[in-house]
Amino acid sequence: MKRRKILVTGAKGQIGSELVPLLREKYGEESVISSDIKPREEGDAPYELLDVTDGKKLAEVVDKHNIGIVYHMAAILSAAGEKNPQLAWKVNVGGLYNVLEVAREKGLERVFIPSSIAAFGPETPRVNTPQDTVLKPRTIYGVSKVVGERLGEYYFWKYGLDVRGVRYPGIISSKTLPGGGTTDYAVEIFYEALKHRKYTAFLKPETRLPMMYMPDCLKATLMLMEAPLDNLKHHTDFNVAGMSFSVEELAMEIKKRIPDFEITYEPDYRQAIADSWPESVDDSAAREEWGWSPDYDLPSMVDDMLEKLRKKLGV
Ligand code: AKB
């Protein structure tokens, strides 16, 4: 039998746009189908225009390409979710349910469903947040992530479907801008520092959040997907730590490299979201069960981001 292929939903998003080339490099161009609600770009093939809320189309795509593994990256992030909670529920919960149902019906081998630090809430211990702890998020995005974690786990125990996921921190990357997240400031700041030497942050200087550089995000995703199932005690909800810094600390680190960079602060509705999330997470379960450890800390991430963006922006 021909080896079954990989489908990536939300392939044009911040993580999907870097995950697809990596998977194609590893498994071959033809083995990885990228899909998104955005139209196909030149050179991106095989590609399917796919809205994950359309379960019928999803099932057709899975059949058409003989899909065995899905990386379900399509989602509406925290800040965008607060602007339209109904849509966030439809995409994040409806889309996820469609993916799990199609995976169950068609006997897929493995499914990756990302969760987020947004699964936590103000009642969760904020420093070194434990793996197994209070999950009472205050955002619709966080609620949808808790639903995703529990639903994925349910499909594992009820149907034996191999569903896996990590709780991503804020992801920092140079290729594709994130959209609609609370941690987006940590990407925007680099573009503004290089282009205009100044940035107005939408969070307070002391706001500290767990963050991760894209190479570590991709490493964590692939490591978990390749881990032997027997080693996993958790499945859909692994804490993964990369680094943890405040807005001010990131700005200082940039200023060391761009001395005339200036930051100002105008906190908006996203401050309340950030205040409900952890400052740092305990990822010992990921370390024990599948050998997780990050490669980047704050200074090495800032060095690499500036180098990549200088080339990209030609500055
Ligand atoms: C967001 O800010 O909404 C996301 C996340 C932490 O999941 N980056």
The CATH number of residue 60's host domain is 3.40.50.720
pLDDT in tens, 91-119: 999 999 999 999 999 999 999 999 999 99
CB neighbours of residue 36 within 10 Å:
25
Same domain? For 135 and 85 the reply is yes
Q: Does 182 contact ligand 1 (Cβ within 6 A)?
A: yes
Same domain? For 139 and 200 the reply is no
Same domain? For 202 and 65 the reply is no
**What's the CA-to-centroid distance between 26 and ligand 1, angstroms?**
27
Q: Distance (Å, rounded) from C-alpha 196 to C-alpha 99?
A: 42
Which of 221, 239, 257 corresponds to the end of one domain? 239
Is there a contact between 34 and 16 (Cβ–Cβ < 8 Å)?
yes
**What's the CA-to-centroid distance between 150 and ligand 1, angstroms?**
19
Is there a contact between 119 and 167 (Cβ–Cβ < 8 Å)?
yes
Q: Out of 120, 184, 202, 209, give the residue to mutate to test ligand 1, the one with the largest number of ligand atoms within 8 Å of its CB.
A: 184
Return the axis-axis angle of helices 247-257 and 298-313, rounded to nearest 10°: 60
Residue type at 54 in one-letter notation: D
Which residue has a Cα nearest atom 6 of ligand 1? 170
**Residue 2, pLDDT above cutoff 80:** no
Same domain? For 254 and 308 the reply is yes
Same domain? For 191 and 247 the reply is yes
Q: Distance (Å, rounded) from C-alpha 197 to C-alpha 261?
A: 4
Same domain? For 139 and 264 the reply is no
**Residue 157, pLDDT above cutoff 90:** yes
Domain span holding position 199 = 174-211+243-277+296-313
Q: Does 118 contact ligand 1 (Cβ within 6 A)?
A: yes
Q: Does 183 contact ligand 1 (Cβ within 6 A)?
A: yes
Give me the CATH number covering residue 186: 3.90.25.10
Beta bridge partners, 246, equal 208
* Per-residue model confidence (pLDDT) at position 168: 98
Residue 150 counted as domain residue: yes
Q: Out of 182, 187, 271, give the residue to mutate to test ligand 1, the one with the largest number of ligand atoms within 8 Å of its CB.
A: 182
pLDDT in tens, 221-259: 999 999 999 999 999 999 999 999 999 999 999 999 999
**What's the CA-to-centroid distance between 118 and ligand 1, angstroms?**
7
* Per-residue model confidence (pLDDT) at position 59: 98
Which residue has a Cα nearest atom 4 of ligand 1? 181
Q: What's the whole-number mean pLDDT along residues 8-15?
A: 98
Same domain? For 199 and 130 the reply is no
Residue 258 counted as domain residue: yes
- Using a pLDDT cut of 70, give the percent of the chain over it: 99
Average pLDDT, the chain: 97
Alpha-carbon dihedral sign for residues 117, 120, 123, 124: negative
Q: What's the whole-number mean pLDDT along residues 179-198?
A: 98
Same domain? For 179 and 153 the reply is no
Residue 290 counted as domain residue: no
Same domain? For 143 and 190 the reply is no
pLDDT in tens, 196-207: 999 999 999 999
Same domain? For 227 and 92 the reply is yes
Is there a contact between 242 and 216 (Cβ–Cβ < 8 Å)?
yes
pLDDT in tens, 13-31: 999 999 999 999 999 999 9
**Closest ligand 1 atom, CA of 209?**
6
Which residue has a Cα nearest atom 8 of ligand 1? 170
Same domain? For 130 and 235 the reply is yes
State how many domains the chain has.
2
Residue 289 counted as domain residue: no
Residue 97 counted as domain residue: yes
**What's the CA-to-centroid distance between 170 and ligand 1, angstroms?**
5
Please give the model's pTM, rounded to 2 decimal places.
Answer: 0.98
**Residue 209, pLDDT above cutoff 70:** yes
Residue 24 counted as domain residue: yes
Same domain? For 227 and 203 the reply is no
